[in-house]
């Protein structure tokens, strides 16, 4: 009886992946929904707040423009400002009427008045009055001191008449006559209450909040912010600044409103997810039963074919199926492989013989038998119009390609490329036959009809399209070279030879990866000796450490490219440059010699030999030459270092008795940093500065103690110590005895009671 093990495994194998997928989808859905909700909420809030700000800006801008337009177009204002002594009431009345009309046309205008410099009077809609008794006198005086102030003021209290209550306004003043008059000033006062009402009409306080403050930090809207309002406000989603009003707008959603609707959507999504899980489970059970039936039928047939009396161990269903089919599959595969290998060998032999100029006598019959150019078979009317061309396709950076996979994978990829090239040729309306002629080169025979101009465009289009397809789909870079077009199949070897010749110019002519034989220079490339002088001049600049050597190197390589030199010629000239440079710099220092003839030199020569473009040669060459330049500079500086440290040592030997002798003293004397002085002593003399100074001083002190009767204090002063205590402590530490004991013991200069390992610690 058939076992059910496979059925259960097939059924249960879906569940881990299924559950994991569903869990990830639900989790990611929550994250995506929340993120989208937050972004959309912030975006909507910013749009609405921007609209509010624009509305208020346009409102005050409209007021400003209406007033200034009226001032510019009406002569009443100029007549009023010019009427100093006549007291023409008609002019005053006409001006008051203009002010009344402006206030009637805009509800946000709280007040508008004109100040006249001539008699220091103020004209309001109530009439003319002196500035001294005017309620808004402080603002007028401040405005007179700031005639260039053009913006709106911060929120302030304003009352026009003595009995009027104070109201909050924002104000703007302009000198009259416009634009920079000297006769008076007009003051525009906009009602803050009206602006508050305008803002309130655009805000839903149940859902969102809006806080507006002026430049002085005063609360504009809402008029008063209670503690409850602050508690209900969430973090602001939008913060804008009005340049016109100099107001700051902070807006957002009230606490608890931001994700309320998100929760509803989340619940709906969870419900949908549960339904999907239930439907998926039912579908899995159904599809598992359905897919298992063919396996069940197959197993019954296999069991019925087993020989009776043969004892076999119980095996898995798939193992039994594999065992039953293995024999038949093996025979089929062996036959197909044998047949396919025979065809491949015949095709390749015919291909190589044809391009080498030795095609068989019955070439057309061979092509038909191997099903090559099937589109051209049976068309004798086109036989006289057929033309042939050859394209060489080469893998760039073949070493990197070879390291990416196994040999079998490379062969599979190459086989796929031959099919790709042939299919692309067929799409362009011609027939193509591709074979690999070396490990990195493939050859493509193109056969078709057409006029010469269209044929050349087709060859370029096919080459460029093939290169682009391979690079985009297989991430493999190839270069292509085309040869001449021939009309006789026996002349195909000429097309092959010219295609190979065109590949020699891939560095200079193959910027797009395609080299057409028609683009090759007619007179051949110039002789290489023409560039030796340019190389010599560059080496001279390099040796003189001129910073232009990098730019000159780029210009030299660009010249190779512009003169359309062969790839081998470019590589030969670059290697000559390196060889001449090596001879010029040889013997300066051992590290530099190792760099010029060691592993780095081998690396750059190998990189130049493997480079596919002039840019790659330039990059490798520049990297190597930068290292050589650094080492060359160090080799030249080391001689200067030795001369400098010699001068410092001689100076110390002459001036060691100077108590001020120190690293700072030497650095000032020789114009170098103290840190660099210390480095030179350690690098060149293998001794610290202080150790050398102590050594010179104590040598002189030993001579004085042995040959004179001077006091210890005098000797200490003569060798550079400020007092005998410091001198005695250093002397005892280095020599092993005090200066007095040294004199009593009649020790000789250079002797010490301390072992060498303990001296100068």
Tell me the domain boundaries of the chain.
1-282, 340-519, 528-639, 661-758
Confidence category of residue 346, pLDDT binned at 50, 70, 90: confident
* Mean pLDDT across 410-417: 86
User: Quick check: helix, strand or coil at residue 175?
Assistant: strand
Q: DSSP secondary-structure letter at 621? A: H
Beta strands 478-482; 514-516: pairing state: parallel
What's the rounded Cα separation, in Å, for the pair 631 and 726?
Answer: 46
The reply to whether omega before 434 is within 30° of 0 (cis) is no
* Mean pLDDT across 584-602: 76
193: pLDDT strictly greater than 90: no
Least confident of 8-17, 271-280, 287-296: 8-17
* Mean pLDDT across 510-515: 76
Do the beta carbons of residue 515 and residue 506 sit within 8 Å? yes
* Mean pLDDT across 711-739: 90
State percent of the chain over pLDDT 70.
79
Mean pLDDT for the chain?
A: 79
Q: Residues 114-151: pLDDT tens digits?
A: 988 888 888 888 888 888 888 888 888 888 888 776 68
276: pLDDT strictly greater than 70: no
Confidence category of residue 443, pLDDT binned at 50, 70, 90: very high
> What pLDDT, on the 0 to 100 scale, is given for residue 754?
47
* Mean pLDDT across 28-48: 75
475: pLDDT strictly greater than 60: yes
CATH topology of domain 1-282: Beta-Lactamase (3.30.450)
The stretches of 306-374 forming alpha helices (DSSP H) are 317-355, 363-369
Helix 567-585 to helix 590-597 angle (10° resolution) is 160
628: pLDDT strictly greater than 50: yes
* Mean pLDDT across 331-346: 76
3-state secondary structure 690-739: HHHHHHHHHHHHHHHHHHCCCCHHHHHHHCCCCCHHHHHHHHHHHHCCCH
Both structure tokens of 147: 């005639």
553: pLDDT strictly greater than 90: no
> What pLDDT, on the 0 to 100 scale, is given for residue 81?
82
User: Quick check: helix, strand or coil at residue 216?
Assistant: coil
Least confident of 273-287, 570-584, 672-686: 273-287
CATH topology of domain 340-519: Alpha-Beta Plaits (3.30.70)
Across 238-281, the runs of DSSP E, i.e. the strands, are 238-242, 247-253
First to last CA, the chain: 95
Least confident of 512-516, 706-710, 713-717: 512-516
- Superfamily in which the 661-758 domain is placed by CATH: Homeodomain-like (1.10.10.60)
Q: Residues 210-227: pLDDT tens digits?
A: 888 888 888 888 877 666
The reply to whether omega before 179 is within 30° of 0 (cis) is yes
State percent of the chain over pLDDT 90.
4
The stretches of 153-259 forming alpha helices (DSSP H) are 192-200, 227-232
Confidence category of residue 269, pLDDT binned at 50, 70, 90: low
444: pLDDT strictly greater than 90: yes
Q: How many CB atoms lie within 10 A of CB 698?
A: 23
500: pLDDT strictly greater than 70: yes
> What pLDDT, on the 0 to 100 scale, is given for residue 2?
42
List residues bridging with 434 in a β-sheet: 444
What's the rounded Cα separation, in Å, for the pair 373 and 435?
Answer: 14
| Contacts within 8 Å (CB) and 24+ apart, 253-262 | 253/41, 253/45, 253/207, 253/208, 253/209, 254/205, 254/206, 254/207, 254/208, 254/209, 255/231, 257/207, 257/208, 258/37, 258/38, 258/41, 258/234, 259/34, 259/37, 261/37, 262/33, 262/34, 262/37
409: pLDDT strictly greater than 50: yes
722: pLDDT strictly greater than 70: yes
Both structure tokens of 615: 């840019």
> What pLDDT, on the 0 to 100 scale, is given for residue 303?
67
């Amino acid at each position: 009886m058939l076992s059910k093990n496979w059925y259960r495994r097939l059924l249960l194998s879906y569940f881990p992946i299924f559950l994991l997928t569903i869990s990830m989808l639900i989790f990611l859905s929550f994250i995506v929904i929340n993120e989208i909700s937050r972004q959309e909420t912030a975006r909507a809030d910013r749009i609405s707040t921007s609209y509010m700000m624009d509305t208020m800006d346009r409102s005050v801008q409209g007021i400003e423009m209406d007033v200034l337009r009226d001032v510019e177009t009406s002569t009443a204002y100029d007549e009023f400002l010019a009427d100093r002594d006549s007291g023409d009431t008609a002019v005053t009345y006409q001006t008051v009427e203009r002010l009344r009309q402006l206030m009637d046309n805009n509800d946000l205008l709280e007040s508008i008045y004109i100040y006249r410099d001539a008699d220091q009077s103020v004209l309001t809609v109530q009439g003319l009055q002196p500035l001294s008794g005017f309620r808004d006198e402080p603002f007028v005086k401040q405005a007179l001191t700031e005639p260039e102030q053009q913006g709106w003021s911060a929120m302030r209290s304003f009352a026009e008449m003595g009995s009027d209550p104070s109201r909050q306004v924002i104000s703007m003043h302009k000198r009259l006559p416009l634009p920079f008059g000297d006769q008076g000033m007009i003051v525009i006062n906009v009602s803050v209450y009206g602006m508050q009402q305008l803002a309130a009409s655009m805000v839903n306080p149940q859902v969102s909040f809006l806080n507006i403050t002026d430049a002085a930090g005063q609360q504009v809207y809402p008029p008063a912010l209670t503690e409850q309002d602050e508690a209900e406000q969430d973090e602001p989603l939008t913060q804008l600044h009005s340049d016109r009003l100099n107001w700051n707008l902070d807006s957002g959603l009230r606490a608890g409103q931001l994700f309320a609707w998100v929760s509803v959507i989340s619940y709906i999504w969870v419900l949908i997810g549960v339904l999907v899980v239930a439907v998926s489970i039912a579908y899995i059970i159904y599809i598992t039963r359905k897919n298992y039936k063919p396996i069940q039928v197959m197993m019954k047939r296999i069991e019925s074919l087993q020989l009776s009396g043969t004892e076999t161990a119980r095996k898995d269903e798939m193992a039994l199926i594999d065992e039953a089919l293995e024999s038949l599959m093996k025979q089929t595969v062996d036959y197909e492989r044998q047949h396919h290998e025979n065809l491949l060998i015949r095709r390749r032999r015919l291909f190589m013989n044809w391009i080498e100029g030795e095609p068989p006598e019955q070439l057309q019959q061979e092509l038909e038998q191997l099903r090559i150019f099937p589109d051209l078979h049976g068309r004798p009317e086109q036989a006289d119009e057929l033309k042939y061309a050859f394209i060489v396709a080469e893998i760039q950076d073949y070493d990197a390609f070879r390291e990416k996979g196994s040999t079998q994978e490379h062969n599979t990829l190459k086989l796929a490329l031959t099919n790709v090239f042939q299919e692309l040729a067929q799409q362009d309306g011609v027939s193509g036959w591709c074979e690999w002629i070396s490990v990195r080169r493939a050859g493509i025979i193109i056969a078709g009809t057409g006029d010469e101009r269209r044929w050349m465009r087709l060859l370029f289009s096919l080459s460029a399209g093939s290169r682009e397809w391979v690079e985009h789909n297989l991430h493999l870079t190839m270069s292509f070279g085309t040869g001449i077009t021939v009309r006789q199949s026996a002349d195909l070897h000429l097309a092959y030879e010219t295609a190979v010749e065109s590949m020699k110019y891939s560095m200079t002519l193959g910027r797009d990866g395609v080299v057409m034989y028609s683009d090759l220079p007619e007179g051949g490339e110039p002789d290489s000796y023409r560039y030796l002088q340019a190389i010599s001049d560059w080496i001279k600049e390099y040796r003189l450490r001129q910073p232009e050597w990098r730019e000159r190197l780029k210009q030299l390589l660009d010249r190779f490219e512009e003169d359309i030199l062969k790839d081998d010629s470019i590589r030969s000239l670059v290697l000559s440059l390196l060889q001449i440079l090596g001879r010029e710099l040889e013997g300066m220092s051992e590290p530099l010699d190792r760099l010029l003839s060691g592993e780095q030199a081998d690396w750059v020569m190998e990189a130049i030999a493997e480079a596919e473009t002039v840019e790659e040669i330039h990059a490798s060459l520049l990297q190597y030459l930068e290292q050589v330049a650094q080492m060359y500079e160090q080799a030249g500086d080391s001689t200067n270092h030795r001369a400098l440290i010699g001068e410092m040592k001689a100076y110390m030997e002459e001036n060691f008795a100077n108590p001020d002798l120190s690293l700072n003293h030497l650095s000032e004397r020789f114009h170098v940093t103290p840190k660099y002085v210390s480095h030179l002593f350690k690098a060149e003399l293998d001794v610290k500065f202080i150790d050398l100074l102590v050594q010179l001083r104590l040598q002189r002190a030993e001579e004085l103690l042995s040959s004179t009767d001077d006091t210890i204090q005098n000797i200490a002063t003569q060798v550079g110590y400020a007092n005998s205590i410091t001198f005695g402590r250093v002397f005892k530490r280095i020599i092993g005895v005090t200066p007095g004991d040294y004199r009593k013991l009649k020790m000789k200069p250079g002797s010490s009671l301390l072992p060498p390992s303990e001296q100068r610690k």
